[in-house]
Structures are given as structure tokens and as C-alpha cells.
Amino acid sequence: MRKNIVAGNWKMNTTLPEGLALAKEVNDAVMACRPNCDVIICVPFTHLASIDHVIDSTKLGLGAENCADHKSGAYTGEVSAAMVASTGAKYVILGHSERRQYYGEVSAILRDKVALALENGLTPIFCIGEVLEEREAGKQNEVVKSQLVEGLFNLSKDEFAKIIIAYEPVWAIGTGKTATADQAEEIHAFIRSAIAEKYGKEIAENTSILYGGSCKPSNAAELFAKPNVDGGLIGGASLKCEDFMGIVKAF
Ligand code: 13P
């Protein structure tokens, strides 16, 4: 059966000392509460190796927020999937709407990133989601389906089985405006049906689909109670241990 997962996305926040302190705090809290879900923190590249040394990675997963679309070489400032894997990280967020929107990450680039992540043993947390105008025009299903088809449906069954999906409606990210649990359930069910159509029911049933967008301790339990919502990808609330753990404990 698929896993329930709560993953933090720290985005461009915390200096290294601040990040180390937060990671230690989250690690201790996870050890103390024995959560009913997998817990992951995705952190800036600069923090990965140091954080890997201070957490128990069998209890708290570690991931990057991005990786390069090339293997190695003359790409100044880029960080490859192999480099990420060499820090001890096991996950990588790919296709976040902020990367798509601000850094021009189109599906062709994301396909290369996904392939390199998988080649290096990293589990991609692949983000999809519509913007407000698309939601208002009733096009959300169409949008997420094309993001799946273009970004992931080139993968073999075995490869796709390693992917975690995060549905993040762009209008809910950092806005305080959460999708209702019913809205989340409806589109998560649609995403699962699109996966089933392509890869079969078994793979679809085993794929974890996380919700992201203004998820907090006060709304997590209602969202996670929905049968097709398998956890959350948490931005702002992952920067405070108490809030993050409040979401973890919603399971
Ligand atoms: P917020 O939880 O801050 O809305 O961010 C969600 C997100 O983008 C996680 O990747």
C-alpha cells in the first residue's frame, strides 16, 4: 500500500546554522513522537551534507529542492543529481511551481531532471498544479493531466513506481488560501485515475499523492482524512518545528 508522507519544503529560508538547529529540533521531535507517516525535510543545497550528519535518516528523510538537468560539466552554479545523492539526501523536489514560474522550467527540462534523479537513486517529489485563472476557468484537471503526461508519462512502469506526486494549486501556495478538503480529494482522485489509465490500477493505488498549499496544523487532519490525500508538502509551516510536527501528528 502507498505511504503517508509529510514533507517540508524550506524553500530559500534559513542560514546554515539556523537550518542545522531546525533539522535537529525536527529530528528529535520525530524520534519522540513515532509518527504514523514518513517525514521528510527538503532543504537548501548548502545545508544537505551538514544536516545529513545530525539527523537519523532512517527516521527523518532528507531531500533537495531541485537538481540540474545535466549530468555534469560546464554549468556554473548548478548542482547535479549525483552531487545531491552524494550528500546522503534521498529525495528531490522537481517541478515546483516556483521553479516553473521564475526559472522557466518547462516539461522538457523536468523530464531530464527526473531521469537524472532516478539514475542517481533519488526519489523525485514531482509537483503539479494549476494557477488561479485555470481553476476559475475549470481547467484544473486538464492542466494537471498535461503536466503529468509531459513531465512523467515517458517513464517506464518501474520508474514511475518510484515517484511521489505533490498536487499544489498555485493559488494556495503561501497565500493562506487552502484548497478545501473536497477540492483536494476531487483532483487527487482525478490524478490517480490518470495514473491508472497510463500505468494500471496497482501502480496508481501505490502512488503517494501529497497536497501542498497553505497546509497547517489546523487544516491538515481534514485534508489527510480524504482517501486520496496521502499527506502534504509543507512550505511556511515547515519552518517552525511545532507547526510542522502539528501537521505530522494529523496522521
Ligand atoms: P506553503 O505551505 O507556504 O503555502 O507552501 C507550499 C509549497 O509550495 C510547498 O512546496
> 65, 105, 134, 168: which is the annotated catalytic residue?
168
Q: Can you give the pTM of this predicted structure? A: 0.98
Distance of alpha carbon 68 from the chain centroid:
17
Region 151-173 average pLDDT: 97
Instruction: Please say if the pLDDT value at position 176 is more than 90.
Output: no
DSSP one-letter string for 228-240: T--EEEESGGGGS
User: Given this model, what pLDDT does residue 7 score?
Assistant: 99
Tell me which of 125, 214, 216 to substitute to probe ligand 1's pocket, judged by most ligand atoms within 8 Å of the beta carbon: 214
Per-residue pLDDT of 6-53, as tens digits, reads 999 999 999 999 999 999 999 999 999 999 999 999 999 999 999 999
What pLDDT score was predicted for residue 178?
87
* Ligand 1 near 8 CB (within 6 A): no
Q: What average pLDDT does this structure show over 131-142?
A: 96
- Report pLDDT for 93: 99
Q: Count of residues for the chain?
A: 251
The per-residue pLDDT for 177 is: 85
Angle formed by the axes of helices 16-33 and 241-248, to 10°?
Answer: 30
Q: How far is CA 12 from CA 55, 70, 225, 242, in A?
A: 20, 22, 30, 20
**Which residues, in sequence order, are CB contacts of 202 under 8 Å at separation 6+?**
none
Q: Is the CB of 213 under 6 A from ligand 1?
A: yes
